[in-house]
Amino acid sequence: MVAFALLGLGAASASAYVHYRLVTDLSYSSACDISATVSCTQAYLSRYGSFWGVPVALGGVLYFALVLLLSVLGVRGSDADRENIAGYLFVLSTVALAFVLYLAWASFFQLKAVCLLCVTTYVAVVAIFIISGGATKLPMTTLPRRAARDAGALSKSPVALLITVLFLGGATALVSMFPREGAASTETVAAPPQYPPLTDAQRAEFERWWDVQPKVDMPVDPEGAKVVVVKFNDFQCPPCRQTYNEYRGILAKYTATGQVKYVLKHFPLDPECNPSGGQHLAACEAAAAYVMARAKGTSEKLEAWLFANQPTLTAPVVKQGVAQVAGVADFDAQYPTALTQVRADIEQGVKAGVTSTPTFFINGRKVGGIIAQAFEAAIELELKRSR
């Protein structure tokens, strides 16, 4: 029990750290983000990553800490204490098991993503459930009476009271101090990360790969640019947030010369406006807000704000943000018209074969989110060929 409590506590603590960094640092990229499918970010920044504003990872930290505390007390206590504690742990682990089954369903079937740290906590919860169930020898109907007796004994022990107060105080502080909405404001967005350039061998291999990527007709006026980059975006999509941060420095460098034109189009994975469906239930509002901000010339500022506050986006939060950041005071009045433009982008994306976000088209060649070095290499290659 102690071993699995330590395993779960380690995984939950790592999860809480990753969630904290994602909320506070737009440039942060988790080591457990291996692909679009195997991704901790996808899970933590989804609507299943928090409940009532509290990250699920923090709940895991507190649960495993409590299990560890009770397990240590069981090791040091009498046979009667161990029997009681096994019952308490079985009740706690039954509730935890129901919760992780829900989270596993959400991750595997709704988000279609695998979070390795999350899976580790699932394993620990299942193991604790099995071990505590096997160790519970007395009838569960006697547990309330035993709990009342133990509570009376606890109230007479200064050490036990101190441990209880410290645990509850630490739990309260941990939850209250964890950053909430707006933690990663536009003022604290870090500079785009810098990556080493591709080697000559890597560049040659990339060119061979690039030439076999599908190419479609993308009806966008280049306005004299030699390269047109189109991104189909969802403001609640974690990989869209990641590529925004990693590519923005590259795009700024090339668009400044006038040789590259960048166009943001919308493909919110939200059934309100996208027949493809999805679980990002504020994505239509976010896309419409961007359309409104573009008309006022404040879209870039709003884009940064939306991605910075992605973990906490809801429809009310979007309305508040577009008013404060982009100066749009009549969101509800403009929403139907803006949504028409969003749906037009979605329709164009469907015709071009877009099924997920982000999807990029560089001079018509379709790719997903690729590493920053490859993204820049694609632009340079298209520029070279257009001379």
**Rounded Cα gap, residues 176 and 188, in angstroms:** 21
Evaluate whether 2-177 and 186-385 have a shared fold: no
Instruction: Work out the average pLDDT over 243-257.
Output: 92
Q: For 94-149, where are the E strands, in sequence order?
A: none
Of 36 and 165, more confident: 165
For residue 26, is pLDDT > 60? no
Q: For residues 289 and 318, is the Cβ–Cβ distance under 8 A?
A: yes
Specify the pLDDT at position 37: 73
Confidence of residue 182 (pLDDT cuts 50, 70, 90): very low
Tell me the domain boundaries of the chain: 2-177, 186-385
23: part of which helix (H) or strand (E)? helix 2-24
Instruction: Work out the average pLDDT over 112-133.
Output: 93
Of 344 and 155, more confident: 344
Report the half-sphere exposure of 174 (CA within 13 A, side-chain side): 20
Residue pointed to by tokens 């990553």: 49
Q: Percent of the chain beyond pLDDT 70?
A: 94
For residue 155, is pLDDT > 70? yes
For residue 260, is pLDDT > 50? yes
Closest CA to 221 of 263, 181, 255: 263
Instruction: Work out the average pLDDT over 361-381.
Output: 93
Instruction: Work out the average pLDDT over 15-31.
Output: 77
Q: For residues 163 and 69, is the Cβ–Cβ distance under 8 A?
A: yes
CATH number of 2-177: 1.20.1440.130
What are the structure tokens assigned to 48, written together? 């299943």
Instruction: Work out the average pLDDT over 223-230.
Output: 96
Confidence of residue 184 (pLDDT cuts 50, 70, 90): very low
Give the CATH fold of the 186-385 domain: Glutaredoxin (3.40.30)
Q: How many CB atoms lie within 10 A of CB 316?
A: 10
What are the structure tokens assigned to 68, written together? 């560890």
Cβ-Cβ contacts under 8 Å for 310 (sequence gap 6 or more): 45, 235, 236, 238, 241
**Rounded Cα gap, residues 210 and 378, in angstroms:** 7
Of 381 and 163, more confident: 381
Residue pointed to by tokens 């983000």: 33
- Residue ranges of alpha helices (H) inside 256-371 are 283-296, 299-308, 315-326, 331-351
Q: For residues 143 and 136, is the Cβ–Cβ distance under 8 A?
A: no
Of 379 and 45, more confident: 379
Of 26-30, 228-232, 312-316, give the lowest mean pLDDT range: 26-30
Q: What is the pLDDT of residues 344-370, one digit of tens each?
A: 999 999 999 999 999 999 999 999 888
Specify the pLDDT at position 110: 77
Closest CA to 40 of 57, 55, 24, 18: 18
Q: For residues 341 and 212, is the Cβ–Cβ distance under 8 A?
A: no
Q: What is the pLDDT of residues 53-102, one digit of tens each?
A: 788 999 999 999 999 999 988 777 677 778 888 899 999 999 999 999 99
Specify the pLDDT at position 186: 45
Of 184 and 238, more confident: 238
Q: What is the pLDDT of residues 300-336, one digit of tens each?
A: 999 999 998 887 788 998 998 899 889 999 999 999 9
CA distances from 351 to 67, 218, 268, 271 (A): 53, 10, 15, 18
Specify the pLDDT at position 180: 59
Q: For residues 190 and 27, is the Cβ–Cβ distance under 8 A?
A: yes
Q: For residues 319 and 333, is the Cβ–Cβ distance under 8 A?
A: no
Specify the pLDDT at position 292: 96
**Rounded Cα gap, residues 321 and 372, in angstroms:** 29
Report the half-sphere exposure of 59 (CA within 13 A, side-chain side): 21
